[in-house]
Structure 1
Amino acid sequence: MGSVGRRVAAVLVAPLLVGLVASCGMSSQGRTVRARAKDAAFEHPGVLVSKDQLTAVRRHVDAGEQPWLQAFLDMRDSKYGSYKYEAKPYATVECPPGTRAGHGCVEEREDAIAAYTQALLWSITGKQEHADKAVQIMDAWSGKVKRHTEGNAGLQTAWAGSTWARAGEIVRHTGATWPTASVARFQGMLRTAYLPEVSRKVPDYNGNWDLVMTDAAIGIAVFLDDHKAFDDAVERFRQRVPAYFYLAKDGKVPLTPVGSTVDTPQKLTTYWFGQQRYTDGVSQETCRNFKHVGYSLAATAHIAETAWHQGVDLYSGVKDRLKAALDFHSRYQMGETAPAWLCGGRVDRNMGPDLEVALNHLEDRLDVHVPAAHRLAEQTRPAGTDDLFVSWETLTHAGNPAA
């Protein structure tokens, strides 16, 4: 077996070891962790943001505490927070790769963010108008959208689907008025127009695809109370994250995604955008640009956070990778000169608002300090939205470890 092949075997074995450790109620570091019984009822609300976290957000905002108050005001005053926001649903959302124009792609993503924004505003202010607006947006799409087409359908359904699930989860489980028939139609939309696409494995694509699709899949699974879809997303996470963020313990070359045809050193170098020297924290897309690394950092944390609220500790298996990747990219994002061995000495510093969820777990739950990422988060707070699938995470997750 070649070195790349051995990396594949390692990825296959690792999830089994994690599963054995978890079944004993212990993390890989020996700490007791929560265990979720098979087919146990899901905790609601529990897609990215928990009930306790929503309560903490209200408390911070009501007390006028920073950075939460400014984050709330930015959200409230954004176009997504307006009572006058109007949805623009499409029956078929066409999202081609490259520069060719799509149909409904921006509208779908923005409408999902608007629904989530209105849901958060409802939770914080208690104003029924916000809940009504969120329902209006979700009803508009669930009554129309049927399919997603073109080459970026997987990514589009991931971006929108992850946000739809967060919006629906808050509205449905915080006392808002949402007719049963409308809820059922929204469930049907997620199950038929989103879940099949985001459950499709794409091991030879850039890793942000697999991770963002898994983010959507696990959120939809919780909203639908779908145990199989949840378990599939958990397994996909355990396979995929170690193949995206490198650690020296992986060996001389990175792990290969399960099922991938990246099976030679030459293919691996191409897949990693020409990078040939690997150090803790470097990622598969570092030499592409930091924007896509940020997507992957955010998606990884979103998946683990949703699982955490459901009693599954995915963080323990990847916390060292997350810490290394956060530190590595934050240093260069803030201007540290890239050495010649890293991407030929040139990196694209365009990371988005992607740090808060991972930082909250590492620093506020585990007391693991990540200095560079901490400084970067403080410099860029309050984090807003990337207009894709990351929204208002200073508000929801900064200093908010509530279990």
Structure 2
Amino acid sequence: MSRSSTSRSSTHGMSRRGILKAASGAALTGTVGGLATVAAGGSAQAAPAVFTHPGMMNAFGELNRAKVRVAAGNDPWLAGWNRLTANAHAQSGWKARPQATVIRGGTGENYGTLYNDIHAAYQNALRWKIGGTGAHGDTARDILNAWSATLTTVTGNADRFLAAGIYGWQFAQAAELMRGYSGFDLDRFRRMMVNVFYPLNNQFLNQHNDACITNYWANWDLCNMASIMAIGILDDDGAKYDQAVNYFKNGAGNGAVQKAIPFLHNDQGLAQWQESGRDQGHTMMGMGQMGAICEMAWSQGDDLYGYDGNRFMKAAQYVAKYNLGQDVPFTKYTWGSGQNCAYNEHTAVSSASRGQTRPVWDMLHYHYARRRGLSVPYITAMAELGRAEGGGGDYGSTSGGFDQLGFGTLLYAK
């Protein structure tokens, strides 16, 4: 697949939506709490004055709803819980295999060790948060502590930027769930994220591996944006959070929303995804990566889901409709590749990997159809086909099956 730090205080139960409402609808740009930052590729954007914790993919409301519904034996939450508890990664006997150096791309690849341990930490953290079992909390804590005591380098060929992005934001999710857990060394984990993952995330968004700005597909930008946003929330770091939000809106590369979704087909309520002419596996990956950014921002009071006239919703509808076996419009997409921006084009939507199952749809369905009350029939139909969603380990053993954290039925059903 080629192609400035400010510390904030944190609180439980207070989101930026509440802060802004109390401020009588103050503008989303400018300063909040006395800070305005200008991040790479964007204009000034104010981070939350107070960060909400837990405040990434799994906010307090979603976790509490799952806990109550599972305890009551209600579906679809119970079906989602059963997918979680059946997963080999979600067992309290999981033992971490931390590495000092993780390599993705080139000689000596070992990154599978990292993504398997991340998903084990996340799934055990969910079992503790929802089921209350201390053995699972201890397992999640021990995995996180083992890696933060060991990992110093993520490297490899250009794919090192994918590793730093995907595994950066996913690792931070598990740590956010374990915040405050007895014996969890949050400070050491934060240092690992800032010293090992963030430099690669930041380097990629600013330099794109010295390639033509359009060389890398949208997912490369998106996973690195997601990692920076997650690190910002984990660290109560307004500047990093701002950097991710600003890049989403105004970034130079293909992950910025108007480049990831280059063409609107408003007469059909659809929008074309940047990788739609490439294949459907990476296109669905994009639904998960952009969805992660939008969900994290939503937890902090920023509506990126609805940004630019629900642009992401229209793209998800487009991707879902095509993968349901129906026709979609396609506008010729052109881009420059390599260091010299050699000309390339896609003239038709790709059928490669069409109809693939990935656990990305329930989060999108429950946001647009339930939180927002919007009609998203194609997203809804895709979600229904994949329910109850599993997670890493349920969709094959290769890296593509671990690009999403999953369990959307358990976590987002309303």
TM-score (norm 1): 0.78
Q: Which amino acid aligns with 1:66?
A: D
Q: Is the 8 A contact 1:113 1:391 kept in 2?
A: no
Aligned to 2:383: 377
State the shift of 1:146 in Å: 0.6
Alignment partner of 1:294 is 2:288: no
Alignment partner of 1:123 is 2:129: yes
What CA deviation, in whole Å up to 9, does each residue of 1:59-110 have, x standing for no partner?
Answer: 11111122211111111111111111111111111111xxx56532111011
Three-state SS of the structure 2 residue aligned to 1:286 is: coil
Q: Which amino acid aligns with 1:248?
A: L
Three-state SS of the structure 2 residue aligned to 1:130 is: helix
Q: Which amino acid aligns with 1:25?
A: G
Change (3 A) 1:291 1:219: same
Aligned to 2:405: 390
User: Identity of counterpart residues, as a percentage?
Assistant: 26
Pick aligned residue for 2:182 from 177, 183, 187: 177
Aligned to 1:199: 202
The 5 Å alignment of 1:49-198 reads 49-96=58-105, 102-150=108-156, 151-173=158-180, 176-179=181-184, 182-198=185-201
Pick aligned residue for 2:351 from 347, 352, 373: 347
State the shift of 1:339 in Å: 7.3
Instruction: Pick the structure with more helix per residue.
Output: 1
Three-state SS of the structure 1 residue aligned to 2:306 is: helix
Change (3 A) 1:392 1:102: farther
State the shift of 1:312 in Å: 2.0
- State the alpha-carbon separation in 1 of the partners of residues 272 and 79 from structure 2: 33
Change (3 A) 1:43 1:70: same
State the shift of 1:357 in Å: 2.3
Pick aligned residue for 2:226 from 215, 220, 238: 215
Change (3 A) 1:74 1:216: same
Three-state SS of the structure 1 residue aligned to 2:109 is: coil
Q: Is the 8 A contact 1:171 1:178 kept in 2?
A: no
Three-state SS of the structure 2 residue aligned to 1:248 is: strand
More divergent stretch after superposition (346-355 vs 220-229): 346-355
- State the alpha-carbon separation in 1 of the partners of residues 259 and 329 from structure 2: 23
Q: Is the 8 A contact 2:360 2:404 kept in 1?
A: no
Q: Is the 8 A contact 1:131 1:177 kept in 2?
A: no
Three-state SS of the structure 1 residue aligned to 2:403 is: coil
Aligned to 1:244: 260
Q: Which runs of 5+ in 2 are unaligned?
A: 1-19, 36-47, 251-255, 333-346, 392-400
Q: Which amino acid aligns with 1:197?
A: L
Q: Which runs of 5+ in 1 are unaligned?
A: 1-20, 251-277
Q: Is the 8 A contact 1:298 1:358 kept in 2?
A: no
Three-state SS of the structure 1 residue aligned to 2:52 is: coil
Q: Which amino acid aligns with 2:412?
A: H
Aligned to 1:322: 312
Q: Is the 8 A contact 2:278 2:349 kept in 1?
A: no
State the shift of 1:155 in Å: 0.7
More divergent stretch after superposition (383-392 vs 183-192): 383-392
Q: Is the 8 A contact 2:168 2:227 kept in 1?
A: yes
Q: Which amino acid aligns with 1:157?
A: A
What CA deviation, in whole Å up to 9, does each residue of 1:132-184 have, x standing for no partner?
Answer: 000110111111111111221111111111111111111115xx3134xx222
More divergent stretch after superposition (318-327 vs 126-135): 318-327
State the shift of 1:305 in Å: 1.6
Change (3 A) 1:177 1:248: same
Aligned to 1:15: none
State the shift of 1:321 in Å: 1.6
Aligned to 1:230: 241
State the shift of 1:233 in Å: 0.7
Pick aligned residue for 1:331 from 310, 314, 321: 321
What CA deviation, in whole Å up to 9, does each residue of 1:344-375 have, x standing for no partner?
Answer: 46412135221222222211121111001101
Q: Is the 8 A contact 1:198 1:216 kept in 2?
A: yes
Three-state SS of the structure 2 residue aligned to 1:374 is: helix
Q: Is the 8 A contact 2:285 2:403 kept in 1?
A: no
Change (3 A) 1:238 1:345: closer
State the shift of 1:317 in Å: 1.2
Change (3 A) 1:320 1:135: same
- State the alpha-carbon separation in 1 of the partners of residues 232 and 90 from structure 2: 27
Change (3 A) 1:324 1:93: same
Aligned to 1:272: none
- State the alpha-carbon separation in 2 of the partners of residues 299 and 215 from structure 1: 7
State the shift of 1:244 in Å: 0.8
- State the alpha-carbon separation in 2 of the partners of residues 380 and 364 from structure 1: 18
Q: Is the 8 A contact 2:368 2:375 kept in 1?
A: yes
